[in-house]
Amino acid sequence: MVYRTLVSHVNLPIWKPYSTSAIAYHSHLYTQIINGKENDELERWFAREIEAPASRVIDKAISDQRLSKDDWHILIKLLAAQDVRTPSRMRQHIEWGIKSASDVLNEVLEDVKEKLEKGELTSIDQEAEGYEKKPNYFPLKVITESCPDSDIATLRAETFIGRSSWIHSIKHLLENTSQILYKHKWSIVRPAKGYYWFTSDNPVVKLNYTDHLNYDLLGGWGREKGNIIFPIGPEHALFAEIGGRPFPKGARLNLNLTLQFRKFIAENSHRMIFSFYEDTDVPRLKSRIVDNEQVKNEREEILNWHLANAHLEREYFHSK
Protein backbone atom coordinates (compact mmCIF):
# COMPACT_ATOMS: atom_id res chain seq x y z
CA MET A 1 0.00 0.00 0.00
CA VAL A 2 1.15 3.53 -0.79
CA TYR A 3 0.36 6.75 1.05
CA ARG A 4 1.25 9.84 -0.95
CA THR A 5 2.35 12.91 0.96
CA LEU A 6 1.50 15.20 -1.97
CA VAL A 7 -1.77 14.79 -3.89
CA SER A 8 -3.70 16.76 -6.49
CA HIS A 9 -7.16 16.46 -4.95
CA VAL A 10 -8.56 16.12 -1.43
CA ASN A 11 -10.89 13.27 -2.41
CA LEU A 12 -8.14 10.92 -3.55
CA PRO A 13 -7.88 7.71 -1.45
CA ILE A 14 -5.62 7.91 1.58
CA TRP A 15 -4.04 4.54 0.74
CA LYS A 16 -3.79 2.89 -2.63
CA PRO A 17 -2.43 -0.54 -3.61
CA TYR A 18 0.60 -0.50 -5.92
CA SER A 19 3.49 -2.71 -6.90
CA THR A 20 6.49 -1.36 -4.97
CA SER A 21 8.80 -1.84 -7.96
CA ALA A 22 6.47 0.19 -10.17
CA ILE A 23 5.64 3.04 -7.81
CA ALA A 24 9.21 3.61 -6.61
CA TYR A 25 10.69 3.78 -10.13
CA HIS A 26 11.60 6.95 -12.01
CA SER A 27 12.54 6.41 -15.65
CA HIS A 28 16.12 7.46 -16.53
CA LEU A 29 16.89 8.70 -13.02
CA TYR A 30 20.41 7.20 -13.28
CA THR A 31 20.74 6.78 -17.08
CA GLN A 32 23.64 8.76 -18.56
CA ILE A 33 24.52 9.53 -22.16
CA ILE A 34 28.06 8.18 -22.63
CA ASN A 35 29.64 8.09 -26.10
CA GLY A 36 26.28 8.95 -27.60
CA LYS A 37 24.44 6.01 -26.05
CA GLU A 38 22.22 5.56 -23.00
CA ASN A 39 24.22 3.97 -20.20
CA ASP A 40 22.36 2.48 -17.22
CA GLU A 41 25.39 0.79 -15.66
CA LEU A 42 24.69 2.33 -12.25
CA GLU A 43 21.19 0.83 -12.12
CA ARG A 44 22.56 -2.57 -13.18
CA TRP A 45 25.37 -2.26 -10.62
CA PHE A 46 22.82 -1.57 -7.86
CA ALA A 47 20.86 -4.68 -8.87
CA ARG A 48 23.88 -6.94 -9.29
CA GLU A 49 26.18 -5.86 -6.48
CA ILE A 50 23.75 -4.62 -3.82
CA GLU A 51 20.10 -5.63 -4.25
CA ALA A 52 20.61 -9.27 -5.27
CA PRO A 53 22.98 -10.15 -2.38
CA ALA A 54 20.86 -8.12 0.06
CA SER A 55 17.67 -9.97 -0.85
CA ARG A 56 19.14 -13.23 0.46
CA VAL A 57 20.42 -11.60 3.65
CA ILE A 58 17.11 -9.82 4.34
CA ASP A 59 15.35 -13.18 4.08
CA LYS A 60 17.73 -14.49 6.76
CA ALA A 61 17.26 -11.41 8.94
CA ILE A 62 13.45 -11.39 8.91
CA SER A 63 13.40 -15.11 9.71
CA ASP A 64 15.67 -14.36 12.71
CA GLN A 65 18.57 -16.48 11.47
CA ARG A 66 22.10 -15.76 12.65
CA LEU A 67 23.91 -13.29 10.38
CA SER A 68 27.58 -13.63 9.50
CA LYS A 69 30.02 -10.72 9.32
CA ASP A 70 29.65 -10.75 5.53
CA ASP A 71 25.85 -10.65 5.91
CA TRP A 72 26.08 -7.54 8.07
CA HIS A 73 28.36 -5.89 5.51
CA ILE A 74 25.83 -6.60 2.78
CA LEU A 75 23.00 -5.07 4.81
CA ILE A 76 25.08 -1.99 5.63
CA LYS A 77 26.02 -1.61 1.95
CA LEU A 78 22.31 -1.76 1.08
CA LEU A 79 21.56 0.90 3.71
CA ALA A 80 24.22 3.20 2.23
CA ALA A 81 22.90 2.72 -1.30
CA GLN A 82 19.30 3.30 -0.27
CA ASP A 83 20.35 6.48 1.48
CA VAL A 84 22.25 8.10 -1.41
CA ARG A 85 20.12 7.10 -4.42
CA THR A 86 16.76 8.68 -3.55
CA PRO A 87 15.07 11.63 -5.30
CA SER A 88 15.31 13.46 -1.99
CA ARG A 89 19.11 13.09 -1.98
CA MET A 90 19.21 14.15 -5.63
CA ARG A 91 17.50 17.40 -4.70
CA GLN A 92 19.93 17.89 -1.80
CA HIS A 93 22.85 17.33 -4.18
CA ILE A 94 21.58 19.96 -6.60
CA GLU A 95 21.07 22.47 -3.78
CA TRP A 96 24.60 21.73 -2.54
CA GLY A 97 26.01 22.04 -6.06
CA ILE A 98 24.47 25.45 -6.66
CA LYS A 99 26.21 26.72 -3.52
CA SER A 100 29.50 24.82 -3.84
CA ALA A 101 30.28 24.25 -7.53
CA SER A 102 32.63 27.24 -7.76
CA ASP A 103 34.72 25.93 -4.84
CA VAL A 104 34.98 22.50 -6.51
CA LEU A 105 36.07 24.06 -9.81
CA ASN A 106 38.70 26.17 -8.07
CA GLU A 107 40.13 23.01 -6.52
CA VAL A 108 40.24 21.36 -9.96
CA LEU A 109 42.09 24.33 -11.44
CA GLU A 110 44.60 24.40 -8.60
CA ASP A 111 45.23 20.68 -9.10
CA VAL A 112 45.80 21.09 -12.86
CA LYS A 113 48.02 24.14 -12.28
CA GLU A 114 50.13 22.22 -9.76
CA LYS A 115 50.55 19.27 -12.13
CA LEU A 116 51.63 21.57 -14.96
CA GLU A 117 54.15 23.34 -12.73
CA LYS A 118 55.62 20.02 -11.56
CA GLY A 119 55.86 18.70 -15.10
CA GLU A 120 53.44 15.88 -14.31
CA LEU A 121 51.20 17.14 -17.09
CA THR A 122 52.35 18.54 -20.43
CA SER A 123 48.97 19.70 -21.68
CA ILE A 124 45.36 20.18 -20.64
CA ASP A 125 44.40 17.68 -23.31
CA GLN A 126 46.46 15.05 -21.51
CA GLU A 127 44.48 15.65 -18.32
CA ALA A 128 41.18 15.44 -20.22
CA GLU A 129 42.23 12.22 -21.94
CA GLY A 130 43.18 10.68 -18.61
CA TYR A 131 39.85 11.67 -17.17
CA GLU A 132 37.86 10.28 -20.10
CA LYS A 133 39.28 6.83 -19.40
CA LYS A 134 37.95 6.82 -15.87
CA PRO A 135 34.69 4.93 -15.30
CA ASN A 136 33.27 7.49 -12.85
CA TYR A 137 32.40 10.25 -15.26
CA PHE A 138 32.20 13.73 -13.77
CA PRO A 139 30.91 16.51 -16.06
CA LEU A 140 34.01 18.66 -16.31
CA LYS A 141 35.67 20.85 -18.92
CA VAL A 142 39.11 22.34 -18.33
CA ILE A 143 39.75 24.92 -21.03
CA THR A 144 43.00 26.73 -21.77
CA GLU A 145 42.90 30.18 -23.35
CA SER A 146 46.20 31.45 -24.73
CA CYS A 147 47.04 35.12 -25.01
CA PRO A 148 48.44 36.20 -28.42
CA ASP A 149 52.17 37.01 -28.43
CA SER A 150 52.49 35.75 -24.84
CA ASP A 151 53.50 32.58 -23.06
CA ILE A 152 50.72 33.14 -20.51
CA ALA A 153 47.58 31.03 -20.65
CA THR A 154 44.36 31.19 -18.68
CA LEU A 155 42.67 28.07 -17.33
CA ARG A 156 38.91 27.91 -17.10
CA ALA A 157 36.85 25.07 -15.63
CA GLU A 158 33.17 24.40 -16.36
CA THR A 159 30.70 21.88 -15.02
CA PHE A 160 26.97 21.43 -14.58
CA ILE A 161 25.12 20.22 -11.53
CA GLY A 162 22.69 17.47 -12.45
CA ARG A 163 22.47 13.74 -13.06
CA SER A 164 26.14 13.09 -13.85
CA SER A 165 27.51 15.05 -10.90
CA TRP A 166 24.98 13.29 -8.66
CA ILE A 167 25.97 9.84 -9.98
CA HIS A 168 29.62 10.72 -9.41
CA SER A 169 28.73 11.72 -5.85
CA ILE A 170 26.82 8.46 -5.30
CA LYS A 171 29.81 6.39 -6.42
CA HIS A 172 32.22 8.38 -4.26
CA LEU A 173 30.03 8.02 -1.19
CA LEU A 174 29.52 4.28 -1.68
CA GLU A 175 33.15 3.52 -2.49
CA ASN A 176 34.76 5.77 0.11
CA THR A 177 32.66 7.65 2.68
CA SER A 178 30.41 4.67 3.47
CA GLN A 179 33.36 2.79 5.03
CA ILE A 180 32.63 4.58 8.30
CA LEU A 181 29.29 2.73 8.54
CA TYR A 182 31.06 -0.59 9.02
CA LYS A 183 32.62 0.72 12.25
CA HIS A 184 29.27 1.23 14.00
CA LYS A 185 27.61 -1.31 16.31
CA TRP A 186 24.47 -2.47 14.50
CA SER A 187 21.32 -4.17 15.73
CA ILE A 188 18.12 -5.43 14.17
CA VAL A 189 15.23 -4.17 16.26
CA ARG A 190 11.58 -5.17 16.31
CA PRO A 191 8.59 -2.93 17.13
CA ALA A 192 6.40 -3.36 20.18
CA LYS A 193 3.81 -6.10 19.79
CA GLY A 194 0.85 -5.01 17.69
CA TYR A 195 2.92 -2.47 15.73
CA TYR A 196 4.87 -2.69 12.48
CA TRP A 197 7.50 -0.74 10.61
CA PHE A 198 6.56 1.01 7.40
CA THR A 199 9.12 2.57 5.05
CA SER A 200 9.30 5.35 2.47
CA ASP A 201 10.93 6.74 -0.65
CA ASN A 202 13.57 8.19 1.69
CA PRO A 203 14.03 5.09 3.85
CA VAL A 204 17.22 5.77 5.84
CA VAL A 205 16.58 7.96 8.87
CA LYS A 206 19.64 9.86 10.18
CA LEU A 207 18.51 11.30 13.48
CA ASN A 208 20.05 13.88 15.80
CA TYR A 209 18.09 13.57 19.04
CA THR A 210 18.12 15.47 22.33
CA ASP A 211 14.51 14.99 23.43
CA HIS A 212 11.07 14.65 21.82
CA LEU A 213 10.92 18.41 21.20
CA ASN A 214 14.55 18.87 20.13
CA TYR A 215 15.65 16.68 17.23
CA ASP A 216 16.26 16.83 13.51
CA LEU A 217 16.61 14.40 10.61
CA LEU A 218 19.79 15.99 9.25
CA GLY A 219 22.30 13.59 10.78
CA GLY A 220 25.17 11.88 9.02
CA TRP A 221 26.85 8.50 8.77
CA GLY A 222 29.42 9.15 11.46
CA ARG A 223 28.04 11.81 13.78
CA GLU A 224 28.65 10.84 17.41
CA LYS A 225 25.48 9.89 19.30
CA GLY A 226 23.47 10.14 16.09
CA ASN A 227 20.96 7.40 15.31
CA ILE A 228 20.45 5.57 12.02
CA ILE A 229 17.19 3.68 11.38
CA PHE A 230 16.50 1.61 8.26
CA PRO A 231 13.41 -0.65 8.06
CA ILE A 232 14.04 -3.89 6.13
CA GLY A 233 10.68 -5.51 6.87
CA PRO A 234 7.45 -4.95 8.81
CA GLU A 235 9.01 -6.34 12.00
CA HIS A 236 12.72 -5.70 11.44
CA ALA A 237 14.76 -2.50 11.19
CA LEU A 238 18.51 -1.98 11.05
CA PHE A 239 19.59 0.38 13.83
CA ALA A 240 22.75 1.98 15.19
CA GLU A 241 23.44 4.61 17.83
CA ILE A 242 26.81 5.96 16.72
CA GLY A 243 29.28 5.40 19.53
CA GLY A 244 26.73 3.41 21.53
CA ARG A 245 26.19 -0.27 22.28
CA PRO A 246 23.98 -2.44 20.10
CA PHE A 247 20.68 -3.88 21.27
CA PRO A 248 20.76 -7.61 22.11
CA LYS A 249 19.81 -10.02 19.33
CA GLY A 250 16.06 -10.18 18.77
CA ALA A 251 15.38 -7.03 20.81
CA ARG A 252 11.80 -5.78 20.74
CA LEU A 253 11.48 -2.06 21.49
CA ASN A 254 9.12 -0.75 24.13
CA LEU A 255 5.98 1.10 23.07
CA ASN A 256 7.46 4.58 23.54
CA LEU A 257 10.52 3.87 21.37
CA THR A 258 8.39 2.15 18.76
CA LEU A 259 6.08 5.16 18.44
CA GLN A 260 9.05 7.51 18.22
CA PHE A 261 10.77 5.44 15.52
CA ARG A 262 7.55 5.28 13.48
CA LYS A 263 7.21 9.06 13.79
CA PHE A 264 10.77 9.63 12.56
CA ILE A 265 10.34 7.22 9.63
CA ALA A 266 7.16 9.02 8.52
CA GLU A 267 8.64 12.50 8.89
CA ASN A 268 11.72 11.47 6.92
CA SER A 269 9.67 10.45 3.87
CA HIS A 270 9.66 12.58 0.73
CA ARG A 271 6.58 11.85 -1.38
CA MET A 272 5.56 8.26 -0.54
CA ILE A 273 5.19 5.96 2.46
CA PHE A 274 4.92 2.19 1.93
CA SER A 275 3.14 -0.24 4.23
CA PHE A 276 1.82 -3.77 3.85
CA TYR A 277 -1.53 -2.57 5.26
CA GLU A 278 -3.51 0.67 5.66
CA ASP A 279 -1.76 2.02 8.74
CA THR A 280 -4.18 4.54 10.26
CA ASP A 281 -1.42 6.31 12.21
CA VAL A 282 0.48 7.43 9.10
CA PRO A 283 -1.82 10.34 8.03
CA ARG A 284 -1.51 11.74 11.54
CA LEU A 285 2.28 11.33 11.58
CA LYS A 286 2.68 13.08 8.22
CA SER A 287 -0.25 15.06 6.87
CA ARG A 288 -0.55 15.02 3.12
CA ILE A 289 -0.37 18.22 1.10
CA VAL A 290 -3.15 18.90 -1.40
CA ASP A 291 -1.69 21.03 -4.20
CA ASN A 292 -2.52 20.24 -7.81
CA GLU A 293 -0.07 22.81 -9.18
CA GLN A 294 2.84 21.35 -7.22
CA VAL A 295 1.93 17.84 -8.39
CA LYS A 296 2.03 19.05 -12.00
CA ASN A 297 5.34 20.84 -11.49
CA GLU A 298 7.04 17.82 -9.94
CA ARG A 299 5.68 15.49 -12.63
CA GLU A 300 6.99 17.82 -15.33
CA GLU A 301 10.35 18.06 -13.57
CA ILE A 302 10.76 14.28 -13.66
CA LEU A 303 9.72 14.12 -17.32
CA ASN A 304 12.28 16.81 -18.26
CA TRP A 305 15.06 15.32 -16.12
CA HIS A 306 16.38 12.94 -18.78
CA LEU A 307 16.09 15.35 -21.72
CA ALA A 308 17.85 18.22 -19.97
CA ASN A 309 20.66 16.07 -18.59
CA ALA A 310 21.12 14.08 -21.81
CA HIS A 311 21.73 17.32 -23.75
CA LEU A 312 24.45 18.42 -21.32
CA GLU A 313 26.03 14.97 -21.09
CA ARG A 314 26.45 14.86 -24.87
CA GLU A 315 28.24 18.19 -24.66
CA TYR A 316 30.47 17.42 -21.69
CA PHE A 317 31.37 13.86 -22.61
CA HIS A 318 32.26 14.77 -26.21
CA SER A 319 29.65 12.45 -27.72
CA LYS A 320 27.51 13.02 -30.78
> Range with the lowest mean pLDDT among 42-46, 70-74, 179-183, 294-298?
42-46
Percent of the chain with pLDDT over 70: 78
Domain boundaries, the chain: 2-27+187-308, 98-163
- Of 40-54, 155-169, 258-272, 288-302, which one has max mean pLDDT? 258-272
The more confident residue out of 253 and 30 is 253
- pLDDT attached to residue 62: 94
- pLDDT attached to residue 168: 83
- pLDDT attached to residue 65: 93
Query: What's the whole-model pTM score?
Result: 0.81
- pLDDT attached to residue 113: 67
- pLDDT attached to residue 29: 65
Arithmetic mean of pLDDT over the chain: 83
The more confident residue out of 287 and 124 is 287
- pLDDT attached to residue 21: 57
What pLDDT band is residue 112 in, cutting at 50, 70 and 90?
low
- pLDDT attached to residue 34: 53
- pLDDT attached to residue 14: 96
Indicate whether 135 pLDDT > 80.
no
- pLDDT attached to residue 258: 98
Indicate whether 195 pLDDT > 80.
yes
The more confident residue out of 37 and 138 is 138
The more confident residue out of 170 and 258 is 258
- pLDDT attached to residue 67: 95
pLDDT in tens, 12-55: 999 999 875 555 555 556 665 555 556 567 778 888 889 999 99
- pLDDT attached to residue 127: 45
- pLDDT attached to residue 38: 61
- pLDDT attached to residue 163: 82
pLDDT average, residue stretch 175-203: 95
Indicate whether 123 pLDDT > 60.
no
- pLDDT attached to residue 73: 96
pLDDT average, residue stretch 280-296: 96
> Range with the lowest mean pLDDT among 41-50, 70-79, 189-198, 227-236?
41-50
The more confident residue out of 205 and 85 is 205
- 3-class SS string, the chain: CEEECEECCCCCCCCECCCHHHHCCCCCCCCEEECCEEECHHHHHHHHHHHHHHHHHHHHHHCCCCCCHHHHHHHHHHHHHHHHCCHHHHHHHHHHHHHHHHHHHHHHHHHHHHHHHHCCCCCHHHHHHHHHCCCCCCCEEEEEEECCCCCCEEEEEEECCCHHHHHHHHHHHHHCHHHHHHHCCEEEEECCCCCCCCEECCCCEEEEEEECCEEECCCCCCCCCCEEEEEEECCEEEEEECCCCCCCCCCECCHHHHHHHHHHHHHHCCCEEECCCCCCCHHHHCCCEECHHHHHHHHHHHHHHHHHHHHHHHHHCCCC
Indicate whether 304 pLDDT > 90.
no
